[in-house]
Amino acid sequence: MPSLSDSLDALRGIAESPAVAELAAAFGERGHEFALVGGPVRDALLGRPVVDLDFTTSARPDETRAVLDVVSTNVWDVGRDFGTIAAKVHGETVEVTTYRAEIYRDDSRKPEVSYGDTIEGDLVRRDFTINALALMLPDLRLVDVSGGIEDLLAGRIRTPGSPESSFTDDPLRMLRAARFASQLGFEIDVDTRAAMAEFAERLDIISAERIRDEFVKLMGSADPVPGIRHLVDTGLAERFLPELTALVATQDDHGRHKDVYEHSLTVLRQAIDLEISRRDSPTAAPDIVLRIAALLHDIGKPATRRFERGTVTFHHHDVVGAKLAKKRLRELRFDNDTVKRIARLVELHLRFFGYSDQQWTDSAVRRYVRDAGEELDRLHILTRADVTTRNRRKAERLEHAYDDIEQRIEVLSEAEELAAVRPELDGEQIMALLGIAPGPIVGRAYKYLLEVRLDEGLIGADAAEARLRAWHVEQGAEGRDD
């Protein structure tokens, strides 16, 4: 945490920015309290970049809207039912929320909102003490009702009131605790963590979309592993991602130094390191598809675990894992494209290891690229990250082998445009050459020529035509279309 003077300078800088100064004046002129609250205050005090500007006010939503309409021509409701109005002010997107207190009923997926009258009452209902901080504007008075500053200094995540009451009010806060542990590198208070385990089942009342969004935020942090450990250890992961918890007791294929769960966490960390090292820009967004695929790449192992001749095997766990990932991610309401990409990576993550002990043919390289498609770069990272052996010689051999594969792909791509592998004759040419109309045989002919292309590379149009005619004769289909 930076020095007190640096932290105060950061807060003062935010308060004096054109957007914030104008907003504070506008609300003050109309007799409303106005404060920067939560994450921006926390991050400024920690010396972290302040990205979002969140404010709270004594004004009711209609009053907030009236004030914002004066200072901005771009105002919209983010969630009027929750008392939040947003606007664009001096190029900054800001959100202003009425003082509030919200709770969940036992069988409700949505909070019931009531508005409050004081900043202290608003802060007490917030999720954690480190977020229950407000900077009153324009007078720059810092309000801390629950020891948030002390917890920032201690690197501790704790609820303002009892954790039992907090997690009963909003069970999603349990996932947020795990996420903040990863994002900030903080420890979760003992009582708070105990309550997470005690009230894990209450997460079931939260919608899949909200759980998904919180999980994605966790996976986007610099190191998601501490947060994931909290989710698994407290039983929260069991409520929405039980396949992850099932990995804990599943030994790896050697039955030795680590279980599949620990291996998966190591793969995730290694994938993140490789992802960052290969980024085109230091400000690039985290690759959530890659990270989730790395975490879930072995979730098919518990279902395929077998003991054969004293050895543990997991035959076809890649295919089973892809199906499990697809099912679970759909239940969490991930979009179809994300589900497809993650499942494909899980399905392909073993492909390299089937060839790692032998020289790849050009045909194998082409098929590898064709099957990976748009996920090739991610597959490169996932495959490298999946090497967690302590045997240094083996690790180096696998690394060199994959270096060779990437180099082979690059060379063949330059010569053959592997990213768009297709037969040398298209459907129209096939029909014209064979004198047939559209029908099933055209598809079979196209597939045959694609196999030739993958096996042998570019052989030229004349050779492709000769192959096609010979194939057609072999099919016993000369002159007819069935």
For the segment 143-179, what is each residue's pLDDT rounded down to a tens digit?
Answer: 999 999 999 999 999 999 999 999 998 999 999 999 9
- Give me the number of domains the chain comprises: 4
Please report, for the domain that includes residue 51, its CATH number. Answer: 3.30.460.10
Q: Decide: helix, strand or coil at residue 37.
A: strand
Looking at the structure, do residues 288 and 190 belong to the same domain, yes or no? no
* Residue 185 resides in a domain: yes
Determine, yes or no, domain membership for 479. no
CA proximity to 56, closest of 44, 38, 69: 38
Give the pLDDT score at 252: 53
Q: How confident is the model at residue 278 (pLDDT cuts 50, 70, 90)?
A: very high
CATH number, domain with residue 263: 1.10.3210
Q: What percent of the chain has pLDDT over 70?
A: 92
Last residue of a domain, one of 132, 154, 176: 154
pLDDT reading at 481 higher than 60 = no
Q: What mean pLDDT value characterizes the chain?
A: 89
Residues 231, 194 within the same domain: yes
State pLDDT tens for residues 336-386.
999 999 999 999 999 888 665 567 788 888 888 888 989 999 999 999 999
- Beta bridge pairs of residue 75: 87
Residue 39 and residue 131 in contact, taking contact as beta carbons nearer than 8 Å? yes
CB burial of 399-428 (b: ≥16 within 10 Å; e: otherwise) equals eebbeebeebbeebbeebebeebebbbeee
pLDDT, mean of residues 402-425: 78
Of the candidates 244, 246, 251, which has an alpha carbon nearest to the alpha carbon of residue 268? 244
Residue 482's pLDDT is 46
Is it the case that residue 427 has pLDDT exceeding 90?
no
DSSP code string of 235-262: THHHHH-HHHHTTTT-B-TT-SS-BHHH
Q: Which of 205, 240, 275 is the last residue of a domain?
A: 240
Confidence of residue 257 (pLDDT cuts 50, 70, 90): very low
On whether both 197 and 127 belong to a single domain, the answer is no
Q: Where does the pLDDT of residue 274 fall: very low under 50, low under 70, confident under 90, or very high at 90 and above?
A: very high
Q: For residue 477, name the pLDDT band (cuts at 50, 70, 90).
A: very low
Residue 213 lies in a domain: yes
CATH number of the domain bearing residue 210: 1.10.110.30
pLDDT band at 479 (very low <50, low <70, confident <90, very high): very low
**Is residue 298 a part of any domain in this protein?**
yes
Query: Looking at 240, 268, 285, which one is the last position of a domain?
Result: 240
Bridging pattern class, strands 100-103 and 75-79: unpaired
- Angstrom distances, CA of residue 451 to CA of 189, 395, 427, 428: 60, 33, 15, 18
Co-location of 253 and 385 in the same domain? yes
Same domain, 169 and 196: yes
Three-state SS at 29: helix
302 and 219 together in one domain: no
Q: Are residues 59 and 190 in the same domain?
A: no
* Same domain for 379 and 318: yes
Q: Can you give the pLDDT at residue 452? A: 84
Rg over alpha carbons for the chain, rounded to the nearest Å, is: 29
Tell me whether residue 480 is in a domain. Answer: no
Q: Give the integer Cα–Cα distance in Å for 397 and 381.
A: 17
Within this chain, do residues 132 and 28 fall inside the same structural domain, yes or no? yes
Residue span of the structural domain in which 444 resides: 427-474
**255 and 341 part of one domain:** yes
Does 289 lie in the same domain as 221? no
The region of weakest confidence among 26-30, 81-85, 242-246 is 81-85
Identify whether residues 48 and 172 lie together within a single domain. Answer: no
In a domain, 481, yes or no: no
Query: Which of 157-161, 252-256, 410-414 comes out lowest in average pLDDT?
Result: 252-256
pLDDT, tens only, 25-67: 999 999 999 999 999 999 999 999 998 899 999 999 999 999 9
In a domain, 89, yes or no: yes
Q: Is position 207 within any domain? A: yes
| pTM of the predicted protein model | 0.84
